[in-house]
Chain A
Amino acid sequence: MNIVVLVKQVPDSGSERKLDSSDNTVARASADNVINEMDEYAIEEALTVKESQGGEVTVLTVGPGSATDAIRKALSMGADKAVHVTDDAVHGSCAVQTSAVIAAALQQLEYDLVLCGAESTDGQVSVMPALLSERLGIPHLSGARKLTVEGTTVRVERQTDGGYWMLESSLPAIVSTWDTINEPRYPSFKGIMAAKKKPVETKSLADLGVDPASVGLATATSRVLDFAGRPPKGEGVKVADEGDGAEKLVGYLAAQKLV
């Protein structure tokens, strides 16, 4: 069972995030960059499947040079090797363009299963598995809260607001995972040491046979035109409890469509 996990480095959602005012793309150089939180669940799931079925876990990331930090984290958790696609021409690419790059990279790898997080905390477009599914001609099962592999079949519980769907497909397939699927392990110091010796292959667009002109901000299918900061927090609402405090609270929450 060969599994490829798609991993993205994103600005830490816990600290202040910015867009670059020159071209409205995510400011990555100045940010506190971390592995996309949802991807840790995909890595954990890949490692769990590997532990029961054998095989190899490969991490695939498209990103700037600094994305090696995210790769090292994935390797120290237990992934076996990594492919890092890095090319200045990719800067500012939209999801559609990025999916072409990832698909090209996947075509150079052997995989039975591709796993990724259900969304990234920076773009939150959540369409990557569907785009890749189209490009690669393999089934995609999105939003998994549970995954089992049996022979050449993958079964998934897709989480929905009201419950879940049972999905099943043949392999190879691509599955995206929610944070309900498992509890990602911590790396161990032994894992950190072992990660140093694991192979990381760096590839350019030329290595993948992708035309640099087909990606990047200039030809992106979507881009950010303008942005504004979040408006300052308003004064809170005070509810005076005159015996009907609970009703007033629920009334307020209902009016705000929060319940």
Chain B
Amino acid sequence: MPVRRLVPTQEAADLLELTRDLARSELAPRVVQAEASETFPREVFRTLGRAGLLGLPYDESVGGGGQPYEVYLQVLEEIAAVWASVGVGVSVHGLSCFGLATVGTPEQQRWLPEMLAGELLGAYCLSEPHAGSDPAAMRTRAVRDGDEYVLTGEKAWTTHGGQADFYKVMARTSDHRSRGISCFLVPGDAPGLSADPAEHKMGLTGSTTATMRFEGVRIPAERRLGEEGQGLPIALAGLDAGRLGIAAVATGLAQGALDDAVAYAKERETFGKPIIDHQGLGFLLADMAAAVETSRAMTLHAARLKDAGLPYGQQASIAKLVATDNAMKVTTDAVQVLGGFGYTRDFPVERYMREAKVMQIFEGTNQIQRLVISRALATGVTGATTVLGAPQPALVS
């Protein structure tokens, strides 16, 4: 069922229609097979890239689509409603371009058009095996050697690890815990860079996750983004935006689960009537619908703050927390609606449930989101009413 949406422009409406078209014709026929066989659908990303969907929130002058987050996130949602792994992939790709777009010099930004044009795929490496929630504990080192840096260490959980054409990597350039980290853009074919065998995950099996090994990887010094020591703030700023992406993906996933559950509940009869007409089950569906709409509203509210150039980190965390917890609940209840059939792999709802779980974990666990939210409460950011003029079109470098 198409979602009722409000978008600022006709081109945004056309973009969403194009997205639904692609989701229906290019994603839907492939998702079941790829997820079951744990195959990364590299070709699907090329299709989306050619359609211009991999650079939407970036400025047109660097090859992006010039779209506000409010629009970009709804595109992500439509993709994830059909294929969560691909939704996550598009969000991660966007995040991997974020550093270059925000702190790259004009000279460095010459790389951006190629990254946004969609033939290339990005990844970002922040987490390490012992340092997930606490990235400042990272050990991977980048040592300056003349005009180069030499990177040594391992980066865990890299989405698109081994598949990506470029990696945004945080590595330690000094021992200072938080101000000793720098950000680098590493080409996927750099000598000394390799991927471990992919993780065997509970869900999101169409998305490759692997540890990346850096064994004396040499990169030109001009591939450092921002100043030495600026890496963690760059990573965290990227995460604020990335969390909105995950919130949108979780909203889409939940919408997909709701749609399947409603369709089933209209068909399936017990005690002589469709199960949707049993109040006990109808109310379960009602709560699911309320959760999905709430996720969307919160996500788009945070997006509009961002588009208006206002602080939005706390709201992004709330959106991520609410949307992913809601997705977990909605997908679990979708299994309930389908009864025994829901528990089999013949129906997609059990897969949705497995996919929802990881969303409470990555891009900052939901415990970490609460940490971010409560810290913002403690520092007492004051509210203000802002009159919205024209929305900021896109992330301008």
Contacts and interface: CB of A to CB of B under 8 A. Distances in A.
Contacts of A164: none
Interface in B1-58: 10-11, 14-15, 18, 21-22, 50-53, 56
A130 B365 CA distance: 66
Contacts of B14: 72-73, 76, 187, 192, 195
B242 interface: no
Contacts of A73: 14
B65 interface: yes
B21 A186 contact: yes
Interface string A203-232: 000000000000000000000000000000
A192 to B, nearest CB: 5
Contacts of A188: 18, 50-52
Q: What size tier do the contact residues of chain A reach?
A: 10 to 19
Contacts of B22: 186
B53 A189 contact: yes
Contacts of A195: 14
Nearest to B49: A188
A196 interface: yes
Nearest to B60: A193
- The secondary structure that dominates the B interface is helix
B15 A189 contact: yes
A172 B50 CA distance: 34
Nearest to B118: A188
Contacts of B18: 76, 186-189, 192
Contacts of B21: 186
A189 B65 CA distance: 7
Interface of A is mostly: helix
A84 to B, nearest CB: 16
B198 to A, nearest CB: 30
A256 B18 CA distance: 40
Interface in B141-184: none
A183 B9 CA distance: 29
Contacts of A233: none
Interface in A150-197: 186-190, 192-193, 195-196
Interface string B339-369: 0000000000000000000000000000000
Nearest to B22: A186
A196 B51 contact: no
Contacts of B52: 188-190
B50 A192 contact: no
A195 B51 CA distance: 14
A73 B52 CA distance: 16
Contacts of B50: 188
A72 B18 CA distance: 12
Contacts of A192: 11, 14-15, 18
A196 B9 CA distance: 11
A176 B389 CA distance: 49
Nearest to B11: A192
A186 B49 CA distance: 12
B221 to A, nearest CB: 34
A230 to B, nearest CB: 20
A182 to B, nearest CB: 15
Interface in B77-133: none
Nearest to B12: A192
Interface string B51-71: 111001000100001100000
Nearest to B65: A189
Nearest to B67: A189
B164 to A, nearest CB: 22
A207 B374 CA distance: 67
A230 B99 CA distance: 59
18 contacts: A72-B10, A73-B14, A186-B21, A186-B51, A187-B51, A188-B18, A188-B52, A189-B15, A189-B18, A189-B51, A189-B56, A190-B52, A192-B14, A192-B15, A193-B65, A193-B66, A195-B14, A196-B10
Given A72-B14, A73-B14, A189-B53, 13 more contacts: A72-B10, A186-B21, A186-B22, A187-B51, A189-B18, A189-B51, A189-B52, A189-B56, A192-B11, A193-B11, A193-B60, A193-B66, A195-B14
Pairs A-B, 5 closest by C-beta atoms: A189-B52, A188-B52, A192-B14, A188-B51, A189-B65
